[in-house]
Amino acid sequence: MKNRVVELFNIRFPLIQAGMIWCSGWKLASSVSNAGGLGIIGSGSMYPDVLDKQIIKCKKATPKPFAVNIPMLYPDIEKHIETIIKHKVPVVFTSAGNPKTWTDFLKREGIIVVHVVSSVKFALKAQEAGVDAIVAEGFEAGGHNGRDETTTMCLIPRVAKEINIPLIAAGGIGTGRAMLAAMNLGADGVQIGSRFVASHESSAHESFKQLVIGANEGDTLLTLKELTPVRMLKNEFFRSIERAYEKNASSEELKQILGRGRAKKGMFEGDLEQGELEIGQVASLINEIKPAAEIVSEILKEYELARAEQASVKFTFS
Ligand code: NDP
Ligand code: NDP
């Protein structure tokens, strides 16, 4: 496969594994990169010394390019940037913040910069800031999400029309058929998160992985729009937020319910009732925990099969 995303990152397939807090450490990132995609270390949940060690291990585990995702809300962002430069990490994905803040600086260091957005407006802002590519992520996605509820189906064609740099589609993509659909809508590649949570190499807690593979349609919802909108599985913590909404809770009260470290508690420590369990709608299509390399090859095989099927269907217009 040759296209703009493959060429930009120097990878074999335009398949990127999303940086996910508590789920994507060096084991997952290096496995996806070794399989021909682009693996990403999710640094939002790592203290600076942890990120340092994770990058060293990732470099040992793969000779291939990999990336680090930094949510711009991260409190010690300067330290993460220093670490990334020190280790000459080739690609950085930034998210949840203004792309103007770090893009120039990172690019002067020779780093490829990609920014994650949820709307055409932010895509244009990121392009103007000089990023090399954009991830446009739709409403179906797990974890932090846009406020406008724009689905991947509606977001991708619009962003594709407005920008001229490579476009990576995200949100609701976990299969080869979905990858083909996203490419048909105008994307040059896809970013996949949830499917890789249920991989052997993900650092998510085993109980969380089991819950993900058992999830059904309708089991996740986007909530906490007043704070940072986030899609999660419905559990006791989620229901406590719902009860607060019923009582017209203020943002301050919601913040108190959220507390600190909920994501770690749920996804890393396996507290399935009191923790925050971030996963996308696509969880209902995931039924098995597998090695990451197998997930990559299955997606690509299904993509090729679906593409061949599509090519054989012809409509006659009179
Ligand atoms: P290792 O696999 O050697 O793990 C190092 C330690 O982290 C071990 O004590 C291990 O516990 C523990 N650990 C790893 N995964 C989990 C998990 N899912 N739930 C609970 N404990 C876990 O090295 P790594 O390179 O994977 O980890 C190095 C450091 O980075 C650790 O501090 C780890 O916690 C942290 N990490 C952080 C991530 C994040 O998103 N913030 C992601 C991955 C790792 P045990 O041996 O009992 O399994
Ligand atoms: P909280 O404020 O609830 O908790 C902070 C968590 O991050 C704790 O578990 C803490 O670990 C850990 N942590 C790692 N490094 C630091 C640091 N330098 N300072 C303080 N805490 C640190 O935040 P969340 O768990 O909701 O989010 C953590 C990060 O992940 C944020 O940067 C957030 O923007 C990002 N995020 C990104 C998402 C995405 O979709 N991209 C989704 C959700 C969050 P410990 O308990 O060991 O102290």
Four-point Cα dihedral 300, 222, 202, 178, nearest 10:
0
Q: How far is the CA of 269 from the centre of ligand 2 (A)?
A: 14
262 lines ligand 2 (CB under 6 A): yes
3-state DSSP call for residue 207?
helix
Specify the residue for token string 């999830």.
215
Output the pLDDT for position 298: 98
Average pLDDT per 10 consecutive residues for the chain, totaling 318 residues: 93 98 98 98 98 98 98 96 98 95 97 98 98 98 94 98 98 98 98 98 98 98 94 98 96 96 98 98 98 98 96 83
Angle made by CA atoms 182, 26, 169, in degrees to the nearest 5:
10
Output the pLDDT for position 308: 96
Residue nearest atom 23 of ligand 1, based on CA coordinates = 54
The CATH number of the structural domain formed by 4-202+285-307 is 3.20.20.70
Output the pLDDT for position 98: 94
Rounded to two decimals, the pTM is: 0.92
Domain with CATH 3.20.20.70 in the chain: 4-202+285-307
Q: How far is the CA of 22 from the centre of ligand 1 (A)?
A: 9
Under 8 Å between Cβ of 222 and 230: yes
Output the pLDDT for position 315: 83
Which ligand places an atom closest to the C-alpha of 267?
Answer: 1
Which ligand places an atom closest to the C-alpha of 71?
Answer: 2
Q: How far is the CA of 4 from the centre of ligand 2 (A)?
A: 33
